Amino acid sequence: MRILFFTEGTRPEPWLDGFRCELPGAQVEFWQPGAAPADYAVVWHPPQQLLDEQRELKAVFNMGAGVDALTKLKFPDGVALVRLEDAGMSVQMAEFVCHAVFRHFREFDVYEREAAHAKWAFRRPNRRSEFTVGVMGLGVLGATVAQAVARFDYPVLGWSRSPRDVPGVRCYSGEAGLRDFLAATRILVCLLPLTSQTENIMNRETLSRLAPGGYVINVARGAHLVDEDLIALLDSGHLAGATLDVFRTEPLPPEHPFWRHPKITVTPHTSARTLRDESIAQIARKILAMERGEPIGGVVDLERGY
Ligand SMILES: NC(=O)c1ccc[n+]([C@@H]2O[C@H](COP(=O)([O-])OP(=O)(O)OC[C@H]3O[C@@H](n4cnc5c(N)ncnc54)[C@H](OP(=O)(O)O)[C@@H]3O)[C@@H](O)[C@H]2O)c1
């Protein structure tokens, strides 16, 4: 069996060694133009040339949960595109989102600023019942995040394409459910895949529907959010703030207004990192299952885009 590996910006050796260790007998190499045909490719942001040249692939494994970088390419017919399912990401995502929710609700950002001036002052406690958290996307990550937040007794809502049932979460679905979901949400968390249907979904119109004092946490993709609409609603006072981990252009350019906006917290696409050992183990397990002719999870529906 031949496996090609391709990524930019990550040292390939530990990945190659990891796959060799999990799949002894497999030939595992870093992809170079003109490489001999392989059975599987494990990639992050591959060039179109890799897909065009490799005509014997059975599957392409994406080293992340979101496949928008791959669905933009011309994907060969009959080749499965497989994404990571959790692989240690959902607990990181729950940690990140809970932290952002707590920081806003308990006003830890205000306490931090005041501590810098040795100011000892209590703030009036906020009412948890008034800080409903709405999670857009109730998949592998969104459902875990929604349940983690619900454990702290915030009212939690969820929104997905098809109807879902997540214990402890009031679920809405489809276009018809979006209006009610937004109107009842104060802290909006985006955990949708980026598709033609979800691009720009957080815009002036949808964000205006959030309950007053709305807060936005975007941990999905930068193109879900219309940057200037967020800034306008923060400046008008309709929204209270935002924690943003993902951006249309990454790294976020130094001149981008998000960096300096007093109501925006920026993190460098770090909410849920791809963990090497967990990812290698999951992909190796799926390759072995495919070799045995068994079905695997995480196969992307290219028509749907996720
Ligand atoms: N910032 C980071 O570090 C980071 C890390 C990992 C992932 N991510 C992002 O997180 C996203 C979600 O990952 P996941 O593993 O949870 O994906 P997933 O399991 O595929 O779940 C996607 C969810 O979004 C819903 N959805 C899709 N299209 C929709 C639409 N048009 N309207 C309403 N709901 C829609 C799906 O609805 P159904 O349930 O009906 O299918 C599903 O509930 C990824 O695509 C990626 O962009 C970010």
Kindly state the helix (H) or strand (E) to which residue 81 belongs, with its residue range: strand 80-82
Ligand 1, atom nearest to 142 Cα: 16
Q: Residue 57's pLDDT is what?
A: 98
Binding pocket residue ranges, ligand 1, CB within 6 Å? 64-66, 89, 137-142, 159-162, 164, 191-195, 197-198, 219-221, 245-246, 269, 271-272, 306
Burial (CB count within 10 angstroms: exposed 0-12, middle 13-18, buried 19+), residue 41: buried
The tokens of 238 are what?
């309709």
Q: Give distance in angstroms: CA of 184 to centre of ligand 1.
A: 21
- Atom of ligand 1 at shortest distance to CA of 220? 9
- Distances in Å between the Cα of 161 and the Cα atoms of 39, 66, 131, 139, 193 are 33, 16, 24, 10, 11
pLDDT of residue 296: 98
Report pLDDT for 146: 99
| Residue 270 CA, closest ligand 1 atom number | 3
Enumerate the H helices of the chain as residue ranges: 12-22, 48-53, 68-71, 89-105, 108-115, 140-150, 174-184, 204-208, 227-235, 276-291
pTM above 0.75, yes or no: yes
How far apart CA 98 and CA 102 sit, in angstroms, is 6
Facing residues of 239 across strands? 214
Residue 118: HSE in the Cβ half-sphere, 13 Å Cα cutoff: 0
pLDDT of residue 9: 86
Kindly list the distances between the CA atom of residue 235 and the CA atoms of 255, 261, 263, in Å, as whole numbers in the listed order.
18, 9, 9
**Cα 248 to chain center, whole Å?**
13
Q: For the packed helices 89-105 and 108-115, what is the interaxial angle rounded to 10 degrees?
A: 70
Query: Which amino acid is it at 279?
Result: S
Residue 272 C-alpha to ligand 1 middle, in angstroms? 13
Please report where in the chains the tokens 């619900």 appear, as a residue: 150
285 is catalytic: no
Amino acid at 40: Y
Could you tell me the strand order of the sheet in which 59-62 lies? 27-30, 2-6, 40-43, 59-62, 80-82
Q: What per-residue confidence (pLDDT) applies to 110?
A: 97
User: Beta strands 239-244 and 214-218: pairing type?
Assistant: parallel
Q: How far apart are CA 153 and CA 8, in angstroms?
A: 41
Low-confidence ranges of the chain (pLDDT < 70): none
